[in-house]
Structure 1
Amino acid sequence: MNKQELVDAVAGRTGDTEAATGEAIDAVRAAIMRALTDGGAVQLVGFGSFSTGQRAARTGRNPSTGAEIQIAAARTVKFTAGKAFKDAVNTP
């Protein structure tokens, strides 16, 4: 499902216009990104939680040449699915 399909599905379910639904989805996405950028976490009960983590600097290899390269430390984004979400996905 791409963004337009998501907008269509949510608009069809709520009865809102596609434009209003698209703006709401963009606002939710921006709020989640802002919270994570500021170092916080977002928990949506029944769906899951978004958080950040740290990946340490490490030495890697260029697959084509085999040369060692240094990979910088980075912040990562984690998503952990909630119980209701996991149960819904695993129900036949």
Structure 2
Amino acid sequence: MKATQSNITKKEIVDEIASQTGFTQVKTKVIVEELIDAISNCVIEGNNIELRGFGRFKNKQRKERRTRNPKTGELVNIPAKVRPVFEPSKDLIEKINNVPFDLEEAFVPKDDQERI
């Protein structure tokens, strides 16, 4: 896969894995979806998922807090909640920072719009 500023879809990931492994796209899609389901279910159950060299999926507790409603100015309580988070590994961060990145290519306007 090419490093760009666009979003990569699950289908594109399935296509890439299928072409590299020789598996059919149908089998590869099942494997990718099962992996996503397994990670999701473990995080829902409150478990951390650590994939060495990639990162960790975990839940993070957010405290209750007070904030101001921007429309009315009224103080509002936001209840405590659990948020799923991803923490990249040091290896992944190092790999990302060692990828040559062409700023000129990354910020070329879409639709051939003029730059400001």
Name the TM-score, length of structure 1 as normaliser: 0.91
Give the CA deviation at 1:64. Answer: 2.1
Partners of 1:13 and 1:66 lie apart in 2 by 55
Following the alignment from structure 2 to structure 1, what is the Cα–Cα distance between the partners of residues 92 and 31? 22
1:64 paired residue number: 71
Give structure 2 stretches of 5+ with no counterpart. 1-7, 101-116
Task: Name the SS for the 1:69 alignment partner.
Answer: strand
Query: Counterpart in 2 of 1:39?
Result: 46
- How far is 1:22 from its partner? 1.0
- The Cα RMSD (Å) is 1.1
Q: Percent identity?
A: 34
Q: Give the corresponding residue for 2:57.
A: 50
* Matching residue's letter, 1:68: L
What TM-score do you get using the length of structure 2 for normalisation? 0.74
Higher RCO (C-alpha 8 Å, min separation 6): 1
Show structure 1 runs of 4+ deviating over 4 A: none
Q: Which has the higher strand share?
A: 1
Larger Rg: 2
Unaligned residue ranges in structure 1 (runs of 5+): none
What does residue 114 of structure 2 align with? none
Question: What are the Cα deviations for residues 37-59 of structure 1, in whole angstroms up to 9, with x where unaligned?
Answer: 11111000101111111001111
